[in-house]
Amino acid sequence: MSLIIQKFGGTSVGSVEKIQHAASRVIQEVRNGNQVVVVVSAMGKTTDELIRLAAGITDKPNKRDMDMLLTTGEQMTISLLSMALQSNGYNSVSMTGWQAGIQTEAVHSKARITHIETTRMKEALSCGKIVVVAGFQGMDMNNEITTLGRGGSDTTAVALAASLGAARCDIYTDVDGVYTSDPRYIKGARKLEGISYDEMLELANLGAGVLHPRAVEYAKNNSMPLTVRSSLEKIEGTLIEEVSNLEENLVVRGVAFEGDIVRVTIVGLKNEVTGLASIFSTLAENQINVDIIIQSRTEIDSTSLSFSIKEEELEEALQVLKQHQTALGFSSLDYEVGLAKVSIVGSGMVSNPGVAAQMFQCMSQNGIAIKMVSTSEIKVSTVVHMEDMLRSAQIIHDSFSLEALQPYPQLT
């Protein structure tokens, strides 16, 4: 008997019918002789709606209250799914994140899981119950309710899989796998049979919304095989593992893009060495995720510096920087909104020179201005104007011939 973790995303539990359908996929695994822990998201667009409700009251909601509000979404789903399982004659128990023993750091809205106390889940499993756990939520050491960041139910699923020693973690969603790019926008995007943890981690970090980046990190650190598959159709999904031999070794495996990027520029930073360290530690202490960083020496005694962040973090970043301006020792602060990031990812890049050159060339031939660049061994990212984002992704996808020989049907 194996233990399987199944995770159903918002669209896969978006209505009573869909919850019943998800229940039937759970029951199938149980009939195959497995123990099952199910992790669920909030129904459909519930989380967005809750955020809208809060926005109707204040544009600066207290983060603790916000977590209190958002965690109710997942609680609706666990109870309904558990009822669906029981009405089919199966024994089940619904658990909030804290009941399932998910402990996190003391940070609201994007906490990391620190430990999972599995006793209660294990007891329920040994009594023959299906355990239905609310994704995206946990509790810190002060018994405060926390959330793991948008899309965080994936992370709950993988973290449970790792701590319970599951054989597999299956992420059920409204797409049937991981694609070379987003098939809703990019012509010729096709489903990948397999992809490595590292490539998936880059893609997830670069805006491929199909998986929460931290979920991939957990899977990699625990060598947990992860599949992304359709909750509606019974077809193979994409297998994510250490080294993917399922696809011929493509130099570029995928093209990712993400809008709402801002470039912040700090001018007149006095002491380069300690200045850089203190700027980025100040931002990090305030949980602001900085992405691409470019430093350029403008004058003999001072430095200017640009970095990119997500637009949603701009206000907080500006506030934090201005507040510490004197201590950090810079003269002024500027920013540019309306930017986007377009990136390519592939393990094959390590041993194939000229990949970045091909990307830049096809962008310049199409008159696309590149504002920032960053690279790692297996990715190249560019920052462009928002209005160039989709066009860039398409021409890059075409240029590296990522389209299928037999294209998968386009999703609408």
By the criterion CB under 6 A, which residues form the site for ligand ASP? Answer: 9-10, 41-42, 47, 73, 135-136, 150-153
**Rule CB under 5 A: is residue 151 a binding residue for Mg ion?**
yes
- Please report how close the Cβ of residue 133 comes to ligand ASP at its closest, in angstroms: 12
DSSP string, 183-231: TTTSTT--B-SEEEHHHHHHHHHTT-TTS-HHHHHHHHHTT--EEEEES
- Please report how close the Cβ of residue 46 comes to ligand ASP at its closest, in angstroms: 7
Q: Looking at beta carbons only, is 9 or 97 nearer to Mg ion?
A: 9
**Rule CB under 5 A: is residue 135 a binding residue for Mg ion?**
no
Q: How far is the CA of 170 from the CAs of 22, 28, 49, 79, 402, in angstroms?
A: 13, 13, 27, 21, 26
Q: Looking at beta carbons only, is 112 or 385 nearer to ligand ASP?
A: 112
Q: Looking at beta carbons only, is 26 or 211 nearer to Mg ion?
A: 211
- Please report how close the Cβ of residue 314 comes to ligand ASP at its closest, in angstroms: 20
Report whether 347 contacts 251 (CB < 8 A). no
Q: Looking at beta carbons only, is 9 or 183 nearer to ligand ASP?
A: 9
Report whether 254 contacts 180 (CB < 8 A). yes
Report whether 339 contacts 262 (CB < 8 A). yes
Number of residues that bind Mg ion (CB under 5 A): 2
**Segment interacting with Mg ion, rule: CB under 5 A, options 122-130, 132-140, 148-156, 286-294:** 148-156
**What does the per-residue mask of binding to Mg ion show for 333-372, with x meaning CB under 5 A?**
----------------------------------------
- Please report how close the Cβ of residue 312 comes to ligand ASP at its closest, in angstroms: 13
Q: Looking at beta carbons only, is 9 or 207 nearer to ligand ASP?
A: 9
Six-digit token string for 105: 């750091």
Closest CA to 348 of 250, 219, 208, 245: 250
Alpha-carbon span 5 to 3, nearest angstrom: 7
Alpha-carbon span 361 to 367, nearest angstrom: 10
Tokens 């992420």, located at residue: 171
**What does the per-residue mask of binding to Mg ion show for 6-45, with x meaning CB under 5 A?**
---x------------------------------------
Q: Which of residues 67-96 bind Mg ion (CB under 5 A)?
A: none
Instruction: Provide the residue type at 169 as one letter.
Output: C
Pick what 12 binds: ligand ASP, Mg ion, none; C-beta below 5 to 8 Å, kind-dependent.
none
Q: Looking at beta carbons only, is 175 or 250 nearer to ligand ASP?
A: 175
DSSP bridge partners of 227? 170, 239
Alpha-carbon span 353 to 204, nearest angstrom: 24
Six-digit token string for 208: 């491929």
Pick what 82 binds: ligand ASP, Mg ion, none; C-beta below 5 to 8 Å, kind-dependent.
none
Pick what 135 binds: ligand ASP, Mg ion, none; C-beta below 5 to 8 Å, kind-dependent.
ligand ASP
Alpha-carbon span 135 to 60, nearest angstrom: 25
* Binding region for Mg ion (CB under 5 A): 9, 151
